Structure 1
């Protein structure tokens, strides 16, 4: 092969793309499930001991696809304070990155934010060989020795079997600052809710919102399988101390009739356990094809009306803590430029979704 035909090795040519597999300084390794670390986003972690979004043995049967997707760790976070000058992670995944339209950094990586609530700033994302199921990666090193709050966001589209936190051997570790409340913000929805196709975990829209509201967020987005089954309503209703429930699953309803059946039933089941918890129903975002396919646009309009009517009927019956939000304009006028594939948002799309929902969520949580 001639010199001209040699493949370009970008990871060697650009130092900012090189994989850093281990810190120069020795590390002490910690399990985040042990004190003083705090793991958020997994309602049954203490019960089952797994980074999983549903219980391992739910009281109600769930579809096989939902059961498999529950192992994806979307919405999980590790929080702590440390004065360590370096931080690394050792990660064991259930599988390697395998998505054609979503970066390995979003599917299988962790990213790192520094700062207390209201001051969190993104610092880094794990760098590793995306063909591997086990990796070690440096998230930062050679920082000044001072106490700082760290938040690590779990991968969005892969199961994490184990993660270890590496700090300097002489570093201190302390609990993170407390949330404003123990009450939880709960999302139920689709692949978009789960975070497809954010380039890194912190840019899924529920994770963006979690940096704007000092609460624990729980992500029950199930790619292609957020269909509003009553069993899921019952399982989610088991979670104590909800502050609000956001339903964003229209995109996975295969028909208007299915949405008409499932949405009122889902809400009614949840209301049995939580009669006063605020509920927000969101219609789906605009897809690129909506402007070119009249039938798609018609279905979208029909399903928006189904959701609006379901909310209005509940309010007419005296439920004043349920609300509807039209998701059609969340991506703005250039909606078709905010997705990877015409459906799943880019980071820009997710930021626009979070920006549009922030004032609504603020009114619900402070009302």
Structure 2
């Protein structure tokens, strides 16, 4: 027999959803009050739980979930598992191993998925990654009836790294929730993260910046740019976004990432002009910040993460696949370790 426990139960640690308590346990990335201030598309996307994790230790020999979603797992460039699955990892931070992914159902009905059953009863630490591109109307975790639940090991830092950006930041198009560059960095660096990537909607609105600044972060990673239609439109919002965030968090590191190399840059002059212009704008904002005395601002050229010579890193020429995300994480990790001053 299993005991079924709501995911927001206090015996579990919920990471990556900073306003969970304010929302009364609703699994979402923004507080309910944000509906009145952020663009409608951003609000809708904030119900998607990318970056959310349920963490705990237990001696249960079984592990199942019950889940339901508000939409079906249908995207042309993502598998149902990448869209709506839940990844289970076992092991403490820094030593986690992948144990499986739930299989979401079409039709919207509540489904159950069993990751394992009948194992020997011994304490193990678990991390359950929530869906990248879907919400959770309901999530319960099923453990052995007599199983104990304990607090998981702490992360290396007591504050999260907050990522803000586009669909790439959100995790499109990884094959499953644990394979985006943000969760890979979290696992390998043993740091908590908040993923505020919004598909097609990372556009640097002041209302979104205000919400970012509410989070007491170890570092803010700004990975927004290409969702703006033109370089000129990015120029209009990028420096104001940085200044607004810096005014609220004067001592926190800010890491600016410029666009990855897009495959269409090989031949499309319009894309070359847009992406090249955006890289120049971000570099200029960074240099101006340094010139004005900001000692906590950093930048990374996106082409150093995925560049013109990196074949086979994309699903569609724009969104990384698992190989692309792994490369991004590997190349970004030493920079982020330096920024965070962790070995």
| TM-score normalised by the chain length of structure 1 | 0.90
Structure 2 CA distance for aligned equivalents of residues 65 and 127 of structure 1: 27
Q: Identify the residue that residue 177 of structure 2 maps to in structure 1.
A: 201
Equivalences for residues 65-214 of structure 1 within 5 A: 65-214=41-190
Q: Is the 8 A contact 1:153 1:201 kept in 2?
A: yes
Structure 2 CA distance for aligned equivalents of residues 180 and 32 of structure 1: 24
- SS for the counterpart of 1:361 is helix
- SS for the counterpart of 1:264 is helix
Structure 1 position 36 matched with structure 2 position 32: no
Could you tell me which of 244, 261, 266 is aligned with 1:291?
Answer: 266
Could you tell me which of 336, 340, 348 is aligned with 2:315?
Answer: 340
Q: Is the 8 A contact 1:332 1:352 kept in 2?
A: no
Structure 1 position 266 matched with structure 2 position 216: no
- SS for the counterpart of 1:57 is helix
Distance 1:89-1:334 versus aligned 2 partners, 3 A rule: farther
How far is 1:326 from its partner? 0.3
- SS for the counterpart of 1:47 is coil
The higher radius of gyration belongs to 1
Q: Identify the residue that residue 5 of structure 1 maps to in structure 2.
A: none
Equivalences for residues 227-266 of structure 1 within 5 A: 227-239=203-215, 241-266=216-241
Structure 2 CA distance for aligned equivalents of residues 232 and 64 of structure 1: 12
CA deviations 1:240-268 (Å, max 9, x no partner) are x2100000111111111111111110111
Aligned pairs, how many?
341
- SS for the counterpart of 1:89 is strand
Q: Is the 8 A contact 2:34 2:43 kept in 1?
A: no
Could you tell me which of 251, 256, 259 is aligned with 1:281?
Answer: 256
Of residues 319-328 and 333-342 in structure 1, the stretch that sits farther from structure 2 once superposed is 333-342
Q: Is the 8 A contact 1:287 1:336 kept in 2?
A: no
Q: Structure 2: where are the runs of 5+ without partners?
A: none
Q: Structure 1: where are the runs of 5+ without partners?
A: 1-25
Structure 1 CA distance for aligned equivalents of residues 107 and 264 of structure 2: 33
Q: Is the 8 A contact 2:63 2:143 kept in 1?
A: yes
